[in-house]
Amino acid sequence: MKKLILTLIAALGFVAGANASEAGMAWDKAPAKTNDVVALQNGAKLFVNYCLNCHSAAFMRYNRLKDLSSGDAQLTDQMIKENLMFTTEKVGDTMKAAIDPKQAKEWFGGNPPDLTVIARSRSGAGGTGADYIYTYLRTYYRDDTKATGWNNMAFPNVAMPHVLWELQGERKPVFEEREEHGHKVSVFKSWQQVTPGTMTPLQYDQAMGDLVGYLQWMAEPAQNTRLRVGVWVLLFLLGLTFVAWRLNAAFWKDVK
């Protein structure tokens, strides 16, 4: 029950994430993985295992995940049922969390936000929404002064605990003192690993890149097709413009 409550609290961390992060550290650039089918499949697995307990993706259907297929990396309805679904829902249903919205609102004062378009809605002065989420998921550290025992460099005083801490392990930020405008300030320098996780730091960063890539893809599943078709449309219009120009020149060449 304690683990469930902490996970539910974690869901509330995204509500004011973009605004709060403006006062935190600079955002890291998220890797571009929307064309990497294997990475997107791994991101989908991470999403349903660690996010879908509390967060819904109410505008995405499970069977749409079949679009994450290419070559040997194919996804079928049966594979989705066996590996990405853990309830009695049907493969054609939308990805909704099991938590009761009314109870969540009573317990925590608000419902966990839907994550279908989270990667598009969290952009800011620091970068894209993907940059924010990528930085946010990688900058947790232990803070015993907080109720959850966790804090975040990208979102100071975050209410959400680090639900992925077993993968990353525990880290603490290292600061150095600098003098700026005649005053001494503490500036973030690096991270120090306190206890190891089940993943190495590089593996964890790659996994978070996969998860963020999936959130980007989920926000607009047709984006790769749109870009590909857009290139061909522009090439067609360019060719049509050239033909029209030459026809116009041929039509008017004998007209004085």
pLDDT of residue 26: 86
Q: Which pLDDT band holds residue 178 (cuts at 50, 70, 90)?
A: confident
pTM as predicted: 0.80
CATH architecture of 2-221: Orthogonal Bundle (1.10)
Alpha carbon distance 111, 125 (integer Å): 26
The number of CA neighbours under 13 Å toward the Cβ of 91 is 14
* Average pLDDT score over residue span 198-225: 94
Which position has the token pair 């990805």?
95
Contact 52, 17 (CB under 8 A): no
Contact 192, 24 (CB under 8 A): no
Contact 140, 152 (CB under 8 A): yes
φ and ψ of 43, to 5 deg: -65, -40
What is the domain partition of the chain in residue ranges?
Answer: 2-221, 226-256
Look at 40-44, 55-59, 127-131, 158-162 and tell me which has the smallest mean pLDDT: 158-162
Candidates 68, 16, 25, 38; CA nearest to 206 is: 38
Residue 77 in tokens: 């309805």
Could you tell me which residue, 146 or 160, shows the higher pLDDT? 146
**Is the per-residue pLDDT at 156 higher than 80?**
yes
**Is the per-residue pLDDT at 101 higher than 80?**
no
Give Rg (Cα) of the chain: 23
**Which residues make Cβ contacts (< 8 Å) with residue 95, sequence separation at least 6?**
48, 52, 56, 57, 58, 60, 61, 62
What stretch of H or E contains 35?
none
Strand runs (DSSP E) across the chain, as ranges? Answer: 57-61, 94-95, 140-142, 150-152, 169-180, 183-196
Highest-confidence range of 92-106, 142-156, 191-205, by mean pLDDT?
A: 191-205
Write down the mean pLDDT value for the chain: 85
Please tell me the chain's helix, strand, coil percentages from 3-state DSSP, rounded to the nearest 5. 45, 15, 35
Percentage, residues of the chain above pLDDT 70: 88
pLDDT of residue 111: 77
3 state SS of 76: coil
pLDDT digits (tens, 9 = 90+) for 184-197: 888 888 899 999 99
